[in-house]
């Protein structure tokens, strides 16, 4: 197997502090999402992204969004969102309305809102235990400002 010295050397050319910052951010965010996801899977048989989609829908006017808008909101490709909505629709948590061949909206159902009501305290408990309680108010403010800066500088969607 051939090594890729260019990719490796480009990574190692970055200052160690940069590499550490990226790795720590990636691992911390991934670990928190993994814990939340595992808890939701165990208790509700839904993943974090499923619940995130229900949340986005519940916050929209009329509990309804166009598929393209929802895809941007949950940072999913159109095809990944279609699979996610398929799963939610199978469980009667959302309904889909086709307006044209390319224009589809999704609405959260009362059952979806009930699931969201069950998920919210579980998510809040995990976030409190693994995020908020470990940071001071100043650290949370600084992290929020950093994330806002990253998101404002360039759209994070693919």
Instruction: Tell me, yes or no, whether 9 lies in a domain.
Output: no
Contacting residues for 67 by C-beta, under 8 A, at least 6 apart: 78, 81, 82, 85, 104, 105, 106
What pLDDT digit, counting tens, does each position of 35-49 carry? 999 999 999 999 999
Instruction: Tell me, yes or no, whether 54 lies in a domain.
Output: yes
Instruction: Tell me, yes or no, whether 4 lies in a domain.
Output: no
Instruction: Tell me, yes or no, whether 12 lies in a domain.
Output: no
Q: How many domains is the chain partitioned into structurally?
A: 1
Instruction: Tell me, yes or no, whether 59 lies in a domain.
Output: yes
What pLDDT digit, counting tens, does each position of 90-124 carry? 999 999 999 988 889 999 999 999 999 999 999 99
Q: The pTM is what?
A: 0.81
CATH number at residue 92: 1.10.10.10
């Amino acid at each position: 197997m051939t090594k890729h010295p260019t990719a490796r050397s480009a990574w190692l050319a970055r200052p160690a502090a940069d590499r550490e910052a990226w790795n720590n951010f990636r691992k911390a965010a991934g670990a928190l999402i993994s814990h939340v996801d595992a808890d939701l899977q165990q208790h509700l048989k839904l993943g974090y992204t499923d619940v995130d989609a229900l949340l986005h829908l519940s916050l929209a006017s009329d509990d309804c969004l166009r598929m393209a808008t929802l895809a941007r909101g949950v940072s999913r490709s159109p095809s990944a969102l279609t699979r996610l909505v398929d799963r939610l629709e199978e469980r009667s948590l959302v309904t889909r309305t086709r307006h044209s061949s390319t224009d589809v909206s999704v609405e959260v159902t009362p059952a979806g809102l009930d699931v969201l009501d069950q998920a919210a305290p579980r998510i809040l408990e995990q976030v409190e235990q693994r995020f908020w309680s470990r940071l001071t108010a100043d650290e949370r403010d600084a992290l929020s400002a950093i994330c806002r800066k990253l998101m404002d500088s360039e759209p994070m969607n693919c």
